[in-house]
Structure 1
């Protein structure tokens, strides 16, 4: 996922002017434009097959603009691990992602679900301004008062309306957190997931948890584990918040530590050429039927099934305030299959697979964890009203659909008929 592919031209941008120049060249010559940030696109939107690849990793500066307000400016090409480490001396942190090597721009534009989502919301909820280069090559600074429609679209629109070069965030006052994992006997997953779900519904908003059920692989035996992060360094409060998780089923391992927030982000790089099939659903209510349907996917090819706790601060923002509309999600259900280079391509299309039985319980999907980008996938990311508004913003700022190497929203002017 991290290679350049077969791009005819690669531009390593160091400034917004470099980005504008690349955009002018792509638009004037008609060649395809691919934007590469951290290189973690599950749908392989970070690799080019011909055309121009615009690599923005050189836009990686970071400045604390106002420590008292937590206002920080971050280059879109920085990684979240770098940002977390640089903010640590200031006692600040931004809830964003799980992986240190993921790029700031790519993750934020899709929403940004991180280890403190239930306390501080999505990464986009901390964004107060952005510098973006639009399809006309113009460098714009946007916020709630300047180009507000464009600012709305950037926060969740997945790169459809421009190339972001920097973002201004209001960081949370977080230095250390309490984190840990609880491993269970994998023998009765249905009861375990139900117990985790019931705990989530009464959970402290400072606590974010992920329950993962991992099959046996050449790398190790099957395992069932809850990973968690409590967004304050209060170990006693964290123990109280997680106590119910230890009463669900047979606990076989349990660890807890107070660590700098930066240490929560994993150092994880996907092996070169690794093939991934991934689906997810954002569900307003994690019902027993949804749980059963998700666990049934393990009956075919080896499958990781994970349940991510949401709610809390995610739901404190109105669904139409940003282009991420799934604010009422109680949980994310995710299924993943992987295969090394040369092996049969993994998928969820076998006769024994029924992802639709899971998806019907949700309102849609999170763009960051989708391996495909067809019309149905795009429709799952953006509900009709959100899609229509995005299409109108797209028509205003990218009428020629230059930025189409993404979960693409087709430009349609407001009020125009749609198919």
Structure 2
């Protein structure tokens, strides 16, 4: 560890190449970076100093919270990484407001809230950072009842590109608050989040697996059951290839009923249990913190191609198109997350997260040898493109596309234009560009 003590920097923990902890702090889920320096601030004032240092020295600036970063933006080569891992403090107020440091992970949050019998609908992976997931959306295991993670956010402390520390909520810097909820890390470093938590003593969670069955029929049955299900019931449809003896592949419906009442849970889940081809059922009572999983990463030497998109109506036409696409891609993964509920009741103008009328989020991934020709991934892309007439937008948190490709698909033009104007106000020089970047307004005209 190296400590720099300069008049302009104060005393901040810095890591240089070769220091203990440098490699870990430079690594995210998809790559290891080689930044010139990693800053590990302990509070907002130190974050502000690190931001000014990056700006003054023309350094590429990345912000690392949980280090999940499927797009790889949370590290860089030759620049500065602000690693928020020392800022993980949490507290609960009497009105179920939960304050969380910008470096916390969702697994730690769930563990912390468990004794209070509270929960925040987040993602479904323990190691994902609160910051990255929330600012980009947060489609979690209670999305139908409580909406996105960002829908539960009531306030944020933000360090801007000028090093100012601002509070953003519905009455103070409300334009910034709007942009943070869906605009990603484009507007500053969020050092503290305040969420409205929900009472939750436990859940009924598990997997329903299915044997040989017609995919279209099963998808329709799942959709119809979810259309009638109470919003406390959330589920994800998953079809996987085999990944060795311990992961034989097949169709699984992951199920979460947010509550411990056995009779209510049984009644809610019953239509899913009645679907043809049910082979096993592992649903049981558990704590919300127990259903958050560790991420799955493909083995070394594998090239991954992936896509996602929202379907406003998961109609029979869309179901058939999805089934045809998936059948034409042997060895690929299909995941469909059901959204209809509170997710849809938020007015699209209230946050920067768009496509609120969606019924499902459809995700596809295919795996190729690292030396596979581009023609193989092109063929996969061509199959996915057959779905595009039925889809709208993409979910940025699940996209590894470059910014020029991803950002215009993440937002309708009016939303993107408003985000670009706010970007020009808070970050006119685009210091925070290591993300699905929203360039300042002039660049989007």
| TM-score normalised by the chain length of structure 1 | 0.93
Q: Does 1:192 align with 2:218?
A: yes
- Aligned with 1:14 (options 42, 50, 63): 42
User: Which aligned runs of 4 or more in structure 1 are off by greater than 6 angstroms?
Assistant: none
Alignment of 1:273-312 (within 5 A): 275-295=303-323, 296-300=325-329, 302-312=331-341
How far apart, CA to CA, are the structure 1 residues paired with 2:380 and 2:100?
Answer: 46
- Are the structure 2 counterparts of residues 36 and 192 from structure 1 closer, same or farther at C-alpha, using a change threshold of 3 Å? same
Q: Matches of 1:11 and 1:344 in 2, distance apart?
A: 38
Q: Aligned residue for 1:127?
A: 153
CA shift for structure 1 position 410: 1.0
Counterpart for residue 132 of structure 2? 106
Partner residue in 1 for 2:260: 233
List per-residue Cα deviations over 1:319-366 (Å, max 9, x = no partner).
1100102211101100123468x5548985326732222233122111
Select which of 241, 256, 259 maps to 2:286: 259
**2:431 counterpart residue number:** 402
Q: CA deviation at 1:298?
A: 4.4
Mapped contact 1:339–1:345 kept (Cα < 8 A): no
2:86 equivalent to 1:58 = yes
Q: Which residue of 2 aligns with 1:336?
A: 365
Distance, in Å, in 2 between the alignment partners of 1:107 and 1:350 is 31
- Alpha-carbon displacement from aligned partner over 1:3-48 (angstroms, at most 9, x marks no partner): 5411111112221122112211111111211111112222111231
2:419 maps to what in 1? 390
Secondary structure, aligned partner of 1:95: coil
For residue 79 of structure 1, the aligned residue among 105, 110, 113 is 105
RMSD over aligned CA atoms reads 2.0
Secondary structure at the counterpart of residue 350 of structure 1: helix
- Pairs within 5 Å for 1:344-355: 344=372, 348-350=377-379, 353-355=382-384
3-state DSSP of counterpart to 1:192: helix
Aligned residues of 1:186 and 1:222 also touching (Cα < 8 A):
no
Instruction: Mark the runs of 5 or more structure 2 residues left unpaired by the alignment.
Output: 1-27
> What do residues 118-145 of structure 1 show as CA deviations (whole Å, max 9, x unaligned)?
0111111111100010000111111111
Q: 2:277 aligns with which of 250, 259, 263?
A: 250
Counterparts in 2 of 1:373 and 1:235: CA distance versus 1, 3 Å: farther
Greater Cα offset, 266-275 or 363-372: 266-275
For residue 287 of structure 1, report the CA deviation from its aligned partner.
Answer: 2.3
Report the 3-state secondary structure (helix = DSSP H, G, I; strand = E; otherwise coil) of the residue aligned with 1:333: strand
1:316, 1:150 → 2: CA distance? 22
Q: Distance in 1 between matches of 2:373 and 2:116?
A: 45
Higher relative contact order (CA 8 A, sep 6+): 1
1:108 CA displacement: 0.4
Matched with 1:358 is 387
Count of equivalent residues: 413
Residues of 1 paired with 2:97 and 2:403: CA distance?
A: 37
Cα deviation, residue 216, structure 1: 2.1
Matches of 2:158 and 2:408, distance apart in 1: 25
Q: Partners in 2 of 1:241 and 1:28 — Cα distance?
A: 57
Please give the alpha-carbon distance, in whole angstroms, between the structure 2 residues aligned to 1:271 and 1:35: 24
| TM-score (structure 2 length as normaliser) | 0.88
d(CA) in 1 for partners of 2:377, 2:177: 35
